[in-house]
Copies of this chain bind each other. A is one copy, B any other.
Amino acid sequence: MREMFEVTSRTEVRRLPARAIYDRAAAHAILDEAFVCHIAFVGDDGHPVAIPTNFARDGERLLIHGSPASRMLRTLGAATPLCATVTLVDGLVLAKSAFHHSVNYRCVVAFGTATAITDLDDKRRALDVIVEHIVPGRSADARAASDKELKATLVLALPLEEVSVKVRTGGPLDDEVDLALPAWTGVVDIETRYGAPPDAPDYARFYQRPGRTARPSP
């Protein structure tokens, strides 16, 4: 049996529910492939803000980190409700009609409040997890954080509890009446490639996101 997220009023996908998944494994795969999320929260002035930041998945929680001088991290560390959204864009879907053009994507939306990790050993481990999430293999080479640097870093954990996943794959879905139109239809694949100079260690030179199998060139 697969482990599922409980569906709440917030995570229930009402628009195009066929694209919705509430499966932890599906969420984990997207979160492991990505390393940037957008965090939405309400600022001091009551206005919503979306800010990009790096993250790591650590089991059933998301870790984010930064300077204690960051307004966002200070706000979120005070148990301010947040939404962390992770989006991977896989293709542009070209249909016969402009109306049915679409995008293939995979998206995780996680709601909740984050908690600061205060214990220095936990924090040290969390920072290793973040480095390893973003550049697998790097934490063995980089100098680990000193106690002073640890204290100068705010690390927040968001439990993965209220989460939805939305995925679109495949080609265009045209109206039958349009099928005879001459326009080409299909998918423009989108792929992210990584490169580092020849003197870089293998984990940088042949950098690839985990779980990502290279697609054949079109």
Contact = CB atoms under 8 A, between A and B. Distances in A.
Interface of A: 9-10, 14-15, 36, 38-43, 45-52, 54, 67, 69-71, 81-85, 87, 89, 92, 94-99, 101, 103, 105, 107, 109, 111, 127-128, 131, 134-135, 138-139, 141-146, 149, 152-153, 178, 181, 183-184, 186-201, 204-205, 207, 217-218
B48 A98 contact: no
Q: How many monomers of this chain does the complex have?
A: 2
Contact of A143 (B98, B107, B197): B98
A163 to B, nearest CB: 13
A138 B15 CA distance: 26
A167 B47 CA distance: 23
Nearest to A9: B45
A85 B196 contact: no
25 contacts: A36-B87, A38-B38, A38-B40, A38-B52, A38-B87, A41-B48, A47-B111, A49-B83, A50-B50, A50-B83, A50-B85, A94-B135, A94-B138, A96-B142, A96-B143, A97-B149, A98-B143, A101-B135, A101-B138, A143-B178, A143-B181, A184-B200, A186-B196, A191-B195, A195-B218
